[in-house]
Amino acid sequence: MKQDLLVTIIVLTYKDFSGLNKTVEAILEQTYQNIEIIISDDGSENYQEDMFLPFQKKAEAENKKIILKHHAQNEGTVKNINGALELATGDIIGFLGCGDYYASKEIIKEIVDEFLKKDAEVVTGKMKGISLSNPQRTTCLPEKHLIKLLKEGNRDKIYRKMFNENCFCAPATFYKKDVYDKVGKYDERMRLIEDYPFMFKLVRNHIKIVFMDRYVTIYLFDGVSSGKQSPAICADLEKIKKYVLLPHIEECDRRSRRLFLYNYERKNTKSVTEKLCVTIKYFDQFLYWQYKRVDGICKAQRRK
Mean pLDDT across the stretch 204-213? 98
CA separation for the pair 77, 198 (Å, rounded): 13
In 3D space, the residue among 218, 223, 175, 222 whose CA is nearest the CA of residue 199 turns out to be 175
Map out the domains of the chain as residue ranges: 7-221, 249-303
Residue 17: which residues within 8 A CB-CB, separation 6 or more? 44, 46, 51, 98
Does pLDDT of 293 surpass 90? no
Q: Return the CATH fold of 7-221.
A: Spore Coat Polysaccharide Biosynthesis Protein SpsA; Chain A (3.90.550)
Mean pLDDT of the chain: 93
Mean pLDDT across the stretch 191-216? 98
Q: What is the pLDDT of residues 215-233, one digit of tens each?
A: 999 998 875 444 568 899 9
Q: What is the pLDDT of residues 24-44, one digit of tens each?
A: 999 999 999 999 999 999 999
Grade residue 159 by pLDDT with cuts at 50, 70 and 90: very high
Grade residue 134 by pLDDT with cuts at 50, 70 and 90: confident
pTM: 0.92
Q: What is the predicted pLDDT for the residue at 90?
A: 97
Grade residue 132 by pLDDT with cuts at 50, 70 and 90: confident
Q: What is the pLDDT of residues 76-112, one digit of tens each?
A: 999 999 999 999 999 999 999 999 999 999 999 999 9
To the nearest whole percent, how much of the chain has pLDDT over 70? 96
Does pLDDT of 264 surpass 90? yes
CA separation for the pair 213, 227 (Å, rounded): 28
In 3D space, the residue among 192, 180, 239 whose CA is nearest the CA of residue 75 turns out to be 192
The DSSP annotation for the chain comes to: --TT--EEEEEEE-S--TTHHHHHHHHHT-S---EEEEEEE---TT--GGGGHHHHHHHHHTT-EEEEEE-SS---HHHHHHHHHTT---SEEEEEETT-EES-TTHHHHHHHHHHHHT-SEEEEEEEEEESS-TT-EEEES-HHHHHHHHHT-HHHHHHHHTTS----GGGEEEETHHHHHH-S--TT-SS--HHHHHHHHHHTT--EEEEEEEEEEEEE-S---S---HHHHHHHHHIIIIIIGGGGGGS-HHHHHHHHHHHHHHT--SHHHHHHHHHHTHHHHHHHHHHHHHHHHHHHHH-
Our measurement of the distance from residue 278's CA atom to the centroid of its chain's CA atoms, rounded to an integer in Å, reads: 31
